[in-house]
Amino acid sequence: MDNYLTLLSFGDQGWGDEIAIGVVTTISLALATLPVGLLIGFLVALAKQSREWSFRTAADIYTTIFRGLPELLTLFLVYFGLQIGIQQLFQTLGVEAGVEINAFLAGVIALAFVFSAYASEVFLSAFRAISNGQYEGGYALGLHRNQVMRLVILPQLIRIALPGLSNLWMILLKDTALVSAIGLTDILRQTGIAARNTKEAFLFFGLAALLYLVLALLSSVVIGRVEAAGKRGETVR
């Protein structure tokens, strides 16, 4: 028992500090991905309900690709693809430079692709839940198209989309574990290193699973608060 406590302690003897770094990386990766993914997802949802056939088709291709590819493969495609692509670009430009893509950036891009593909579907169904009268009322008041979107539609849209989006946040949190495969020091990577060095694999991978569970639990508390805040305007029936 003392042995385990030493292993988990912070400092030279234990792995606590290394794993804490992993927790920070995982959380910051998920938090960095969220706004990017939400923005792209919203834009794709707008494109999906456009009157233009070309917009709709382009958006459908986007979701088909990023919902159909395994997340791990998307990650590798982005990580190695960007590296090779930039190297090729440098070669054609005649620049001699070794390129190393930041794993964190590659993780954010890949996870944002996946997140936004799913988020666009959530936004789309939320858009469909808002009646046309809301737009018409907005136009009748003389609001501009952008104003209608910002002042009338978005506040309702967010409330309707929130349950779906919080689901996607939980999935995102779990998907961040994949970045350990490209060497980013997240929870799983750090616990994996600890497991290899101490031969206590069950302890450390169990700890990793526990940490993800705690993160999920914390998020559901926060999401519950946000949902309550979103509902405070609704009348009690």
Residues 99-138 that bind other proteins (CB under 8 A): none
Type of residue numbered 76: F
Nearer to other proteins, 66 or 123 (CB): 66
Binds other proteins (CB under 8 A): choice among 2, 93, 146, 202: 202
Q: Tell the smallest beta-carbon distance from residue 201 to other proteins (Å).
A: 4
Of 2-10, 104-112, 123-131, 211-219, the segment contacting other proteins by CB under 8 A is 211-219
Question: Does 40 participate in binding other proteins (rule CB under 8 A)?
Answer: no
Which residues lie below 8 Å from residue 24, measured CB to CB, with a gap of 6+? none
Cβ atoms 182, 107 nearer than 8 A: yes
**CA 184, CA 192: separation in Å to the nearest integer?**
12
Q: Tell the smallest beta-carbon distance from residue 233 to other proteins (Å).
A: 29
Question: Does 181 participate in binding other proteins (rule CB under 8 A)?
Answer: yes
Question: Does 222 participate in binding other proteins (rule CB under 8 A)?
Answer: no
Question: Does 216 participate in binding other proteins (rule CB under 8 A)?
Answer: yes
- Cα 140 vs. chain centroid, distance in angstroms? 38
Binds other proteins (CB under 8 A): choice among 14, 16, 192, 230: 192
DSSP annotation of 153 reads I
Instruction: Please give the C-alpha separations between residue 213 and each of 145, 148, 174, 216, in angstroms, as whole numbers.
Output: 43, 40, 10, 5
Mark residues 56-95: x for contact with other proteins by CB under 8 A, - for none. -xx--x--xx-xxxxxxx--xx--xx--x-----------
Buried b (16+ CB within 10 A) or exposed e, 86-103: eeeeeeeeeeeeeeebeb
Question: Does 221 participate in binding other proteins (rule CB under 8 A)?
Answer: no
What φ, ψ does residue 235 adopt, rounded to 5°? Answer: -80, 150
Helices 16-48, 201-231: inter-axial angle, 10-degree rounding: 40
Question: Does 55 participate in binding other proteins (rule CB under 8 A)?
Answer: yes
Query: Would you tell me which residues interact with other proteins (CB under 8 A)?
Result: 47, 50-55, 57-58, 61, 64-65, 67-73, 76-77, 80-81, 84, 170, 174-178, 180-181, 188, 192, 195, 199-203, 205-206, 208-209, 212-213, 216-217
